Copies of this chain bind each other. A is one copy, B any other.
Amino acid sequence: MSAAEELSLAERRRLYTAALGFAAGTRRIILRKMGGGFRKRLKADASYVTDADLAAERVLRREIRRRFPEHGIIGEEFPAVNVGSDFQWILDPIDGTLSFTHGIPFFGTIIGLHFRGRPLVGIIDQPALRLRYSAGLGLGAFKNGRRIRIRDVPAAALPREIISTGNRVRFVRCGAGPGFDTLMRTHPQVRGYEDCIGHTLAAEGAIGAAIDYGVRLWDIAATQILVEEAGGRYECVYRSRGREKTEYGIVCGKPRVVDWLLPLFR
């Protein structure tokens, strides 16, 4: 039985609406920090965290615990809670902290709700761009409340599609350096938008596909449901083994573009 069958439409709508409310809260916090300044420090993994990340994740956790005390929470900045629950909220308060700390507006808050390991609700909120992408299982995908739908492309148009990637170093770390290099050498429209920007452009069909490697669970927690509810295709093409922190590789976007890229990446 699928999650859509186990959870009523009303229940899915309730969870989706709650998630939208959470994103409105984090946007206010992050915009205030953008305007008023923030402190940053390097973490053990050499990435940055700011007090904006911490404040946003704290508020998310507080709101989730208040509304859904039995649900699990997995977030980038704090330990997991209720790890055995069917419902798991997966949070990245600021995806693209490096951009945020540099004053580059291309970052976002990621909120995913998974039910028994399957995506149920996904939000990517981009405060500086005033864009909120949201989707719920069987409810559709939306950008600032307006339905988004991916239109597939004919095969002849594939060479003109825009493809977005993350940094090469993360592809190399996951063994996907050759695929990255082939794409760069052979495709005339590769852009490196980094972080959640490529994912949301793929979900709305503005680009052909996004490819991301070396990302953690919270980086992709909302992407699959956004892309699939918009009518696109999402493939997890890599999962690290034997490391303490699991890393993933994904390809998502217009179905024919994803099909066309897959041979390069698995």
Residues of A within 8 A of B (CB): 98, 102-105, 129, 162, 165, 167-169, 184-185, 188-194, 201, 204, 206-207
Contact = CB atoms under 8 A, between A and B. Distances in A.
B184 A168 contact: yes
Contacts of A206: 102-104
24 contacts: A98-B162, A98-B189, A102-B162, A102-B206, A102-B207, A103-B204, A103-B206, A104-B162, A104-B201, A105-B129, A129-B129, A165-B192, A167-B189, A167-B190, A168-B184, A168-B185, A168-B190, A169-B188, A184-B184, A190-B192, A191-B193, A191-B194, A192-B192, A193-B193
Nearest to A161: B102
A35 to B, nearest CB: 12
Contacts of A105: 129
Given A102-B162, A168-B190, 20 more contacts: A98-B162, A102-B206, A102-B207, A103-B206, A104-B162, A104-B201, A104-B206, A104-B207, A129-B129, A165-B192, A167-B188, A167-B189, A168-B184, A168-B185, A169-B188, A184-B184, A191-B192, A191-B193, A192-B192, A192-B193
Nearest to A131: B105
Q: What copy number does this chain have within its complex?
A: 2
A167 B188 CA distance: 7
A38 to B, nearest CB: 15
A40 B162 CA distance: 17
A98 B169 CA distance: 27
Contacts of A207: 102, 104
Nearest to A208: B102
Contacts of A129: 105, 129
A103 B169 CA distance: 29
A190 B104 CA distance: 14
Contacts of A98: 162, 189
A190 B204 CA distance: 24
A129 B192 CA distance: 18
A105 B206 CA distance: 10
Contacts of A190: 167-168, 192
Nearest to A102: B206
A201 B99 CA distance: 11
Contacts of A194: 191
A257 to B, nearest CB: 13
Contacts of A168: 184-185, 190
Contacts of A204: 103
A173 to B, nearest CB: 10
